Structure 1
Amino acid sequence: MQKNSKIIAFLFFLFLGYFIFITYPKLELISGFSAKNVASAHFIDNRSLELIEKSDNDFDVIGWATNQINESEKSATATVLGLKERKAIYRQGLGATLINDNFDVTKPYEVPRRNLSQNKLPFPYGVLEPKDTSFSNIDYAKLNKAVANAFDANGEDDKRTRSVLVIYKDKIIAEKYLTGFNKNSIILGWSMTKSITGTLFGILQKQRKFDIYKPAPIPEWQNNTRKKITTNDLLHMNSGLEWEEEYDKISDATQMLFHDEDMSRTQLLKPAIFEPNTHWNYSSGTTNLLSGILRKQFKTHQEYLDFWYSALIDKIGMHSMIVETDMAGNYVGSSYAWATTRDWSKLGLLYLHKGNWNGEQIFDASWAKYVSTPTNTSNGKYGAQFWLNAGGFYPDAPRDMYSCNGYQGQKVYILPSQDLVIVRMGLTGDSKFDFNGLLSGITNSFKK
């Protein structure tokens, strides 16, 4: 009996040692993710710590973190089993930033200058409520059922949808929110932010201030094979640069988001392992590199901060949106834009109308075609900072559909052939949520 107890104890400590060996390096990522998410959700959307821990941070190992909010200094801290404390601070105008011990919280900083003037027009072009509109070609019972099916029934917690918005011919035809969320709730788009970043290059190209087909303006690449990489290659995610986009382990992506001070340089420093335009590889580092390229197009940091809002975000009335910055002051163009569901839909509407916003051409109509044309070697699933359905990933949705996609199933679908924009925000992605069913349910509600 005593011998068996010793064997069990030995195996327990062996397992414990293995567990610590495997898990300990991840603790800083866990506490970093948790602190950043708590600070953002609380100070941007005013969510309680209880709600954040029950919903936003309740998955996988993130739930191991212990979190605290400091209201007076507008910060959040997190630890795991009392270890690896990480801190995120909130700054008005810049959102929450995960910081390290070297970050000087007393250093003055610039914030974007916003134009929040609002048109007295109905949604989507102004702040007034949309006019009630009924279309004879829509079966509203079918439509409402399709939207309702996207949400969990009482007692369930599988679909985890927070909002669904359906817009047809610029009119809201369906809108539903999870209890506790509403049209004013500001929700993180995660990688939908990439589509914001890419759009800014379309705007610069229309202004004849940037040529995406020239080699990327990166001095560090000019004396090696990377000098052949164009901004067009970067926009299409086929630069050939080394990158690992994994989130359940220490990878290039997690290292960048939860450790690096200057996220615009993480991809820049990677070697080329393929020729440009021969190998598609999804990379958040590439989009943050694009944010760094954007920054260098302006004489001052203030101009860079302002451009994102003056040229696009506030221009189309996405006044709830905030794009967060890293420690070096770069917008985290890969991942950190927050906005209401209605404001996220405006990006989709801008593309549905090929860059025209209530009579003003924000980018050339050809840019919408550019971003929705399949990237070489992506098998029809990716364009230029947008995801595509050209390869039929959603078999019951139109092939001309393209979308902004984000972690945990944030979606803005653009359906040009049906004059539709569909937004879904939530906490489950394609592996757990039936997006094809949602899309087909909505499109089938239109009478033939």
Structure 2
Amino acid sequence: MRSVGSLLKRLAKIVLVLLLLVVAGGLVWLYTMPPDLLRVGSGYAAKIVCSNVFLAGRDENDVLAEDVQAPGHPLLRLMRVSVDRPAQRVSAALLGQIAPSAAVYRPGLGCAVVPQGSTAAALDLPEAGPGAAVQAGAGSWPNGEGIEANAAVAALLARDDLVGPGFRAVVVVKNGAIVGERYAAGFNDKTPLLGWSMTKTVNAALIGRLIDEGRMRLDERNLMPQWAGDARRDITLAQLLAMESGLAFNEDYGTVADVTRMLYLQPDMAAFTASLPLEGTPGQRFSYSSGTAVLLSRIWMDRLSDRATALAFPRDALFAPLGMTSAVMEVDASGTFVGSSYLYASARDWARFGLFLAQNGMWKGVRLLPDGFVASMAEPTTASGGWYSRMQTWLPRPSERADMPADTFNLQGHDGQTITVIPSRGLVVVHLGLTPWSARYSTMPLTKAILRVYP
């Protein structure tokens, strides 16, 4: 018995030593990681929790577990958040202490990460004011909330293989009516959901509104004051919209690249992107860039008379006419719309925007976008190899184009946010959720199945 007891004590000591080594190694790993990488992680956690708490009314613990930590990255797994509701502020840090970041909420303007020294400026912005007048619930969507459910479409949406893993909302619009929708547990037709890079297409539509009013042109140059003395002055608005500016920008989300530095470490995202050099001849090479979309926001905002007018423009020019009462486009700490990434809206309001595009930029008989503007969203660029359009949208993959109408295009965002628009068939398919790229999910099988319902 003594030998057994002695052996157990030895094993216990070995286990303790191993645990201490693991803890020590973990602490060394944490404290030797690049500080900027840690702050990107905490900035991301603070921003996502802030927006979902104050815009979507969700519980911060659910958001932390389901939205921030679910991807399984070890840094994000160790993030802790604190929500100060009276101050409308969220703090986040690794293990609650290391590399802290914060985000603040501004009514009508959403949340922004506030790097050190930028909190006061982020809060000192004119309020965007109240949203569009809430529509009465009577009548059919999009004017009211009534839908025209189709049993065959409902059967398709009931199939998990077609709606994909991690979906939160799927809405199908045919000829101006919602014919099917499905929501995951905890979400409904009123829940604002993040569109990520689908925001880029909404940002383009805001530029379209200004083009329609004669305040912008696609062939314009000299777009940023910082570019006046070098070759960047020759970049055109059309080249920015087609992602062919030639500007350097690293879109790799796995590191502290330009895109993560811009989104989570920079108080003025447009100034950061505008400072980057040319790495190619404008118009010659496709390079997908979220920085480009933020530049586009700054450019169109500068065309308006004052900051208050610019901050109200998405609501006044687009959301109110379309009845997108839930839509909030967020601004960074400097007051520039993050036109690359941050628009929250309910699935039905995202569907309203999709229907607007399917109707060639018309709404209730009124033209809001120039004729041909939406058609350019289905026009492939040579530089992108046919994958991207001239107007901030994606085209179906070559393997998916069989049996698809030629005017099909997609709004597409991180984690499976997609709106497929087919104007010639009057079809819009909205998919929102947390569907990682690694799942290789595509809405094309669902879209093709819906097309077969309406031959």
**TM-score in terms of structure 2 length:** 0.88
CA contact 2:173–2:427 (8 Å) conserved in 1:
yes
Distance 1:399 1:430 in 2: 25
Q: Which amino acid aligns with 2:109?
A: L
Distance 1:240 1:31 in 2: 31
Bigger CA radius of gyration = 2
CA apart distance, 1:111: 1.4
Worse-matched range after superposition: 98-107 or 362-371: 98-107
Aligned counterpart in structure 1 of residue 418 of structure 2, from 392, 407, 411: 411
Question: What is residue 3 of structure 2 aligned with on the other side?
Answer: none
CA apart distance, 1:334: 0.7
Q: Secondary structure in 2 aligned to 1:45? A: coil
Question: What is residue 262 of structure 1 aligned with on the other side?
Answer: 268
* 1:334-349 equivalence runs, <5 A: 334-349=340-355
Q: 1:201 to 1:35 in 2, by over 3 A?
A: same
Aligned counterpart in structure 1 of residue 328 of structure 2, from 310, 322, 332: 322
Distance 1:9 1:43 in 2: 40
Q: Secondary structure in 2 aligned to 1:209? A: coil
CA contact 1:389–1:398 (8 Å) conserved in 2:
no
Question: What is residue 445 of structure 2 aligned with on the other side?
Answer: 437
Q: Secondary structure in 2 aligned to 1:175? A: strand
Residue 71 of structure 2 is aligned to residue 59 of structure 1? yes
Q: Which amino acid aligns with 1:55?
A: E
CA apart distance, 1:397: 3.9
Distance 2:412 2:25 in 1: 42
Question: What is residue 248 of structure 1 aligned with on the other side?
Answer: 254
Q: 1:118 to 1:11 in 2, by over 3 A?
A: closer
Question: What is residue 157 of structure 2 aligned with on the other side?
Answer: 147
CA apart distance, 1:340: 0.3
Q: 1:441 to 1:33 in 2, by over 3 A?
A: same
Q: Which amino acid aligns with 2:447?
A: L
* 1:18-417 equivalence runs, <5 A: 21-22=32-33, 25-57=36-68, 58-61=70-73, 62-81=76-95, 82-105=97-120, 108-114=124-130, 116-118=132-134, 120=136, 122-126=139-143, 128-130=144-146, 132=148, 140-141=151-152, 143-150=153-160, 159-383=165-389, 384-389=391-396, 391-393=398-400, 395=402, 397-417=404-424
CA contact 2:285–2:383 (8 Å) conserved in 1:
yes
Q: Which amino acid aligns with 2:339?
A: G
Structure 1, residues 367-399: CA drift from partner, whole Å, max 9, x if none?
A: 011222112311211111111127455556434
Structure 1, residues 251-291: CA drift from partner, whole Å, max 9, x if none?
A: 00000000111111222111111111111011000000011
CA apart distance, 1:118: 4.5
CA contact 1:152–1:161 (8 Å) conserved in 2:
no
CA contact 1:150–1:161 (8 Å) conserved in 2:
no
Distance 2:442 2:118 in 1: 43
Q: 1:429 to 1:438 in 2, by over 3 A?
A: farther
Structure 2: tracts of 5 or more residues without a match = 1-9
Structure 1, residues 189-225: CA drift from partner, whole Å, max 9, x if none?
A: 1111111111111111111111121214212212211
CA contact 2:132–2:315 (8 Å) conserved in 1:
no
Question: What is residue 137 of structure 1 aligned with on the other side?
Answer: none
Q: 1:287 to 1:310 in 2, by over 3 A?
A: same
Structure 1: tracts of 5 or more residues without a match = 135-139
CA contact 2:141–2:147 (8 Å) conserved in 1:
no
CA apart distance, 1:347: 1.1
Count of residue pairs brought into register by the alignment: 433
Q: 1:397 to 1:150 in 2, by over 3 A?
A: farther
Q: Percent identity?
A: 28
Q: 1:241 to 1:94 in 2, by over 3 A?
A: same
Q: 1:242 to 1:327 in 2, by over 3 A?
A: same
Q: CA RMSD in A?
A: 2.7
Structure 1, residues 4-24: CA drift from partner, whole Å, max 9, x if none?
A: 99x999997778756753465
CA apart distance, 1:40: 0.6
CA contact 1:75–1:89 (8 Å) conserved in 2:
yes
Q: Secondary structure in 2 aligned to 1:408? A: helix
Distance 2:244 2:130 in 1: 34
Distance 2:392 2:147 in 1: 33
Structure 1, residues 165-191: CA drift from partner, whole Å, max 9, x if none?
A: 001001111111001111001101111
Residue 425 of structure 2 is aligned to residue 425 of structure 1? no
